[in-house]
Amino acid sequence: MTDVATIVAEVEAQERELVLGSFTHEDAWRLGCLLMELATERDLAVTVDLRKGTQQVFHAARPGTTPDNDSWIERKVRVVYRFGASSYLVGLRARAKGSDFNADHGLPFQEYSAHGGAFPVRVEGVGIVGVVTVSGLAQQDDHALVVEALRTLRG
């Protein structure tokens, strides 16, 4: 099994790599559609959400998902905006320290969830301009699907 420190380093590298030149509403639509195409091809029960700033610009759910996936999305998105990193990375960093993310920061679990699946959309020279989120799989798989789609979008 890979140790947490190694996974943290891998996710940090992904976040440095996956910086876009721009991020328009059209880009958000393409990314959301790409994620839904991947999920459909693989028959994955996921909900996909994209934010540009605080505006939700794409949201779709596959069969097998429930409103609980929407709740997970909201909680993961809050983590990205508050901590400036993917929800997976924030959770991994807490785990690497042997601590409880929510207790350490005094944040209620029903509002903040440092579980994988929400990834900051960064634009070169600007910083975080949005969040792309997948919910429905194991947290590392939610995260991996987002990374795969962002790599495809970047070309």
- Could you tell me the pLDDT band of residue 137, with boundaries at 50, 70 and 90? very high
pLDDT single digits (tens) 17-50: 999 999 999 999 999 999 999 999 999 999 999 9
Structure-token pair, residue 9: 């380093």
pLDDT per residue as tens digits for the range 43-76: 999 999 999 999 999 999 999 999 999 999 999 9
CA-based end-to-end distance of the chain: 31
Q: Are residues 16 and 98 in contact, defined by beta-carbon separation less than 8 angstroms?
A: no
Classify burial at 67, counting beta carbons within 10 Å of its beta carbon; exposed 0-12, middle 13-18, buried 19 or more. Answer: exposed
> Domains plus CATH for the chain?
4-154 (3.30.450.150)
Query: pTM of the prediction?
Result: 0.96
Helix, strand, or coil (residue 144): helix
